[in-house]
Amino acid sequence: MDVTADRAEADCEAVSEMLSRVGDKWTIQVVVSLRSGSQRFNAIKRKVDGISQQMLIRTLKALERDGMVKRTVRHSAPPQVEYALTPLGLSLSQTVRHLADWVVTHREKIERNRLQYDIHKV
């Protein structure tokens, strides 16, 4: 296999991995809730309906590890921890938004297509 094919394959793997990362239901909602600016843990938890403490910790850690979210500790008493999108995270959120808009626009059509397919195949 030549270098270009190797590179294309690595890119494809990366795209696929990133799509399934950002495609995670909780990740999308956390990123969306951070679009309005830096937030404390409990404020995010209130905005993201139904997320557990454990799942929010895990989602924020994965985003921090990617460099999409920055965690800041304010040395007050008690210490306050805030989370904010980095420029990288904000840029991703804008790109994902286009795809999300596409899905919102077309989801009814896709659901109708699936229903029709299932009726014809039974």
Q: Which spans of this chain sit near a second copy (rule: CB under 8 A)?
A: 5, 9, 11-16, 18-20, 22-25, 28-29, 49, 64-67, 88, 91-92, 95-96, 98-100, 102-104, 106-107, 109-110, 113-114, 117-118
Residues of the chain by 3-state class (helix, strand, coil), percent to 5 = 70, 10, 20
Please count the helices (runs of H) and the strands (runs of E) in the chain.
Answer: 5, 3
Based on CB atoms, which residue is closest to a second copy, 50 or 77? 50
CB of 46 to a second copy, least distance (A): 13
Residue 61 in contact with residue 101, Cβ under 8 Å? no
Based on CB atoms, which residue is closest to a second copy, 49 or 54? 49
The CA distance from 87 to 116, in Å, is: 43
CB of 122 to a second copy, least distance (A): 13
Please state whether beta strands 80-85 and 39-40 pair in parallel, antiparallel, or not at all (unpaired): antiparallel
CB of 85 to a second copy, least distance (A): 14
